Amino acid sequence: MNIKRNVLLNPGPATTTDTVKLAQVVPDICPREKEFAGLMKNLRSDLLKVVHAPEDKYTSVLFCGSGTINIDVCINSLLPEGKRILVVNNGAYNSRAVEVCEMYRLPHINLKSSIYEPPCLATIEETLKANPDVAVVYCCHHETGTGVLNPIREIGALAHKYGAIFVSDTTSTLGMIPLDVVEDNVDFCMASAQKGLMAMSGLSFIIGRKDIIEASKNYPTRSYYCNLYLQYEYFEKTGEMHFTPPVQTIYATIQALKEYFEEGEAAKFARHRAVYDAIHEGLSELGFETIIAREVESGLVVSVKYPDSPNWDFEKVHDYCYERGFTIYPGKISTTNTFRLCSLGKIFPEDIKNFFVVLKEALEFYDIKL
């Protein structure tokens, strides 16, 4: 089978290998069969290995849905009665967590700060000191909207110092930037199979502390489908997901994890870095400006300013590149017009070189001068 290879420069779903794509083509199986539960058991324990989570203290709980389901589940399930959640908010994905709090009418503090920088640790500490009823601190590892990497180890340490648990949305770093949940002070992290693991969309997972999940049994239940304890308990009892799992996506994820361990944590990190460096190099050669300082960038997303040229039209440039196998993506910053180039997926610096040949052609074709 010959499948066209597209280079996805959007922040997920990412470019996958053919072997991952083809892993979905399997004989039909009822996911209530023991055989399928066995596959999920290994998958769940492999997910723990990706973030170096000790099996005795941490577990992974799978959900059928896109990555946002994890945000919903963690927030609605992990807040004890009468307590508050502190969202350290420097961008669109942390704002999504605030929206979840609002939707469930949960007491929360929206600690907003500049989207161009990581949050200020001293301000977080002051907020925790002044609000002893904060039981959950929440912050994205990587604000995918801008490309800013947040200091989660330090934020987690502050949460623990003030007796709160730390939940981090690691959707756009897990499997790409090495993460050690114990050393990084992360009680709960999350991702979906389509991003760092380079599998398919439809499977999301939360990795977190068993003792806290057990304690959450007695917290108010705020959702039927999206409750962490209920899903965990079902896995513990039966080895299965409570409701129908995304069967084929699970096969793809198992293959993707095999390839993840074959490539290796350090080598994969280095490859994403090399792709990121190639993105910056190509941009500066063409005269594009980026908006986030490189010292605080994750190395996975680059936010690029629209050029001043009157002929610039993102849609047209996008379509030109898309027709030639390269997908670029709009920005997520309300104050500046940007687009994003990302280093997720099974792509290589060579792909970025080829992309910039096409982008240069597009600029010439539409007479866009930088």
Q: Spell out the residues 6+ positions from residue 194 whose beta carbon is closer than 8 angstroms to its own.
A: 12, 13, 14, 67, 200, 201, 202
Radius of gyration of the chain (CA): 21
Q: Are 145 and 335 in contact (CB under 8 A)?
A: no
- Nearest residue to 308 via CA among 293, 291, 289, 327: 289
Task: Please state, in angstroms and rounded to a whole number, the distance separating the CA atoms of residues 94 and 98.
Answer: 7
The minimum distance between CB 197 and ligand PLP, in angstroms, equals 13
For ligand PLP, which is the closer residue by CB, 168 or 255? 168
Burial class from Cβ neighbours inside 10 Å (0-12, 13-18, 19+) for residue 113 reads: middle
Give 153's Cβ-side CA count (13 Å radius): 7
Residue whose C-beta lies closest to ligand PLP: 67
**Cα 244 vs. chain centroid, distance in angstroms?**
23
229 binding ligand PLP? (CB under 6 A): no
Binding to ligand PLP by residue 192, rule CB under 6 A? yes
Query: According to CB under 6 A, which residues from 102 to 161 bind ligand PLP?
Result: 140, 144
Q: Is 68 in the site for ligand PLP (CB under 6 A)?
A: yes
How many positions of this chain bind ligand PLP (CB under 6 A)? 12
Quick one: 245 or 307, whose CB is closer to ligand PLP?
245
When the beta carbons of 17 and 171 are compared against ligand PLP, the nearer one is 171
**Closer CB to ligand PLP, 67 or 349, in the complex:** 67
| Contact region with ligand PLP (CB under 6 A), list: 65-73, 181-189, 292-300, 327-335 | 65-73
Spatial separation of the C-alpha atoms in residues 197 and 356, rounded to whole Å: 25
* Number of Cβ within a 10 Å radius of residue 94: 26
* CB of 172 or CB of 255, closer to ligand PLP: 172
Among 12, 331, 345, 349, binds ligand PLP (CB under 6 A): 12
| CB of 10 vs ligand PLP, minimal distance in Å | 10
Window 319 to 348, contacts with ligand PLP (CB under 6 A): none
3-state helix, strand, coil in the chain (%, to 5): 40, 15, 40
Residue from 15, 16, 171, 290 that binds ligand PLP (CB under 6 A)?
A: 171
* Strand duo 134-140 + 84-89: pairing: parallel
* d(C-alpha 20, C-alpha 352), whole Å: 22
Is position 63 an interface residue for ligand PLP (rule: CB under 6 A)? Answer: no
* Closer residue to ligand PLP, CB minimum distance, 204 or 368: 204
Q: Is 174 in the site for ligand PLP (CB under 6 A)?
A: no
- In this chain, which of 172, 249, 290, 298 binds ligand PLP, going by CB under 6 A? 172
Nearer to ligand PLP, 59 or 192 (CB): 192
Residue 331 C-beta: closest distance to ligand PLP, Å: 14
The two beta strands, 301-305 and 338-342, are antiparallel
Please state, in angstroms and rounded to a whole number, the distance separating the CA atoms of residues 206 and 293.
30
Q: How far is the CB of 348 from ligand PLP (least distance, A)?
A: 22
Q: Which residues bind ligand PLP (CB under 6 A)?
A: 11-12, 66-68, 93, 140, 144, 169, 171-172, 192
